[in-house]
Chains A and B, each alone.
Chain A
Amino acid sequence: MNGSTAHQSGVAVQVRGLQKSFNGHLVLQGIDLDVAPGEIFVIMGPSGSGKSVLLKHIIGLETPDAGDIQINGQPIQAEGVMDQYRLAMVFQSGALLNSLTVGENVGLYLREHRLKPEKEIARIVGEKLELVGLKGLESRMPSDLSGGMKKRVAIARALAIEPQLILYDEPTSELDPLMAVTIAEEILNLKSRIHVTSIVVSHDRDLALGVADHIAMINQGKILAIGTPEEIKKISDPLIQKFLTVEFQKEKAL
């Protein structure tokens, strides 16, 4: 573990030729990505296109069939590389530990790695929960929370790590518009405060266009385009255009 200094800078992430198949079904078909230190990189794409699988590879939960992933130029499969960095992931489902209280979940990383004294942990936990609008819910159990509240606890848990790389899997998908804005602001805040590198998977166009330094569009396990929000908006690929502009029209639906 890399000490407890709060102001480390974010890491660079490089993905090359990443391939993965499950039961003969090719889910990722050669992904190449470069994420610069301290930037917010948004991945968008239709449901089932392999976004969550990609995130799991980046944080080392899945092993690639081919290709490699590097953090700050070091391959993540190499012994000890992952231990050097503070990483965090906000799972699509939240993935809170159901046998622990909300407070214990948020403080888990600091407590298990003995990074802070108990009092300090309690303070940080309170602070992070307040940030996601869940002040004072430390002693609740995850099973008593709504889906969106669980997601926010998961975000608080990731924030408490003060990570160098944070992966969000659809952080705003279960939140109301106000909370979604709060979370978007926090993603931006974290970037300016601790220069964390963020990779955000999201369907939320406003969030993506609002916070991203770069956006990657992914479809069926392949990257369609990568660019700044302005560049992506100008690309004429019909799928991308549809994805960015489609609106629900009552007349059409009826």
Chain B
Amino acid sequence: MFQNIGEILILFWRTLMALPQTLQHRRKVIDQLFEIGAASLLMACILSLFIGGVIALQSGPVLAERGLSSYIGGLVGLSMCKELAPVMMAVLIAGRIGSAMAAEIGSMRVYQEIDALRTMNIDPIRYLVLPRLVAISVSLPVLVVFSILVGWFGGAIVSMTNQQIAVPLQSYFSNLSEMVELDDVANGLIKSFVFAVVIGIVSCHQGLQTIGGPRGIGRSVTKAVVNSIVLILILDYFVTRFLLYFEK
């Protein structure tokens, strides 16, 4: 996959150059936004509810044994917004939206639709890649905000109802608001923005690279998803390192 990094960077650069034309293509951006929202919002919320719940379930009893159960709100709060929501949502979106992008652009490639665009002097980067990249970069952070909120709530429910933890809603959230700062949420959003760009560019690139018939499309979809997820997990470490410099 890494021999493609150069091509991916070039595609990214050319998409950036086209960015000023986003307004002209706003219809397509809006269409893409709806598509992403419709495909992912409910799924994201359900997933996040359970992720928040399971962190509380795993760590709550351990904290309670040591008499630290009042910290459960902060623990769920921080792990959700700094790490779990951005990474899990990125993985979810890579699977749902990255795959769709690669499949759609890949089939346009295979069935000569992209050739047809080029004969009409319509730049596939502006027409196809730009709206998708803009839409995913806007919607993934928004999805992450939902995910964080729902995840906190999931943690709260478990903390409240689990016999071993038994932290009331109010003290859960008061600890959470004490420990989690706006910076921490911003941290997660910056991460998710980076991941969104990775998913968008990797998937569009893979779609444009598609060769062969339906098989080629299948191959592109798999590659787009796997490469996105690998890059997300690797970049997660480096972005975290980078963002640590800015923490007081």
The chain A residues found within 8 Å of chain B, CB to CB, are 1, 56, 59-61, 82-83, 87-89, 91, 93, 95-99, 108-109, 112-113, 161
Question: Is B183 an interface residue, CB under 8 A from the partner?
Answer: no
Considering only CB atoms, which chain B residue lies closest to A82 in the complex? B121
* Complexed CA–CA distance, A56 and B104 (Å): 23
* Complexed CA–CA distance, A184 and B104 (Å): 35
Is B115 in contact with A112, judged by CB distance below 8 angstroms?
Answer: no
B107: which A residues are within 8 A, CB to CB?
98
Is B111 in contact with A88, judged by CB distance below 8 angstroms?
Answer: no
Question: Is B113 an interface residue, CB under 8 A from the partner?
Answer: yes
Question: Is B127 an interface residue, CB under 8 A from the partner?
Answer: yes
Contact with B118, one of A61, A97, A98 (Cβ below 8 angstroms): A61
Is A113 in contact with B116, judged by CB distance below 8 angstroms?
Answer: no
A109: which B residues are within 8 A, CB to CB?
120-122
* Complexed CA–CA distance, A59 and B121 (Å): 10
* Complexed CA–CA distance, A141 and B119 (Å): 21
Is A108 in contact with B115, judged by CB distance below 8 angstroms?
Answer: no
* Complexed CA–CA distance, A72 and B145 (Å): 57
Is B120 in contact with A161, judged by CB distance below 8 angstroms?
Answer: yes
Is B119 in contact with A97, judged by CB distance below 8 angstroms?
Answer: no
User: Do A1 and B121 contact each other (CB < 8 Å), given the known contacts A97-B108, A112-B127?
Assistant: yes
Is A56 in contact with B115, judged by CB distance below 8 angstroms?
Answer: yes
29 contacts between A and B (CB under 8 A): A1-B121, A56-B115, A59-B119, A60-B118, A60-B119, A61-B115, A87-B119, A88-B119, A88-B120, A91-B112, A91-B115, A93-B111, A95-B111, A95-B112, A95-B113, A95-B115, A95-B116, A96-B116, A97-B113, A97-B116, A97-B117, A98-B111, A109-B120, A109-B121, A112-B122, A112-B127, A113-B121, A113-B122, A161-B120
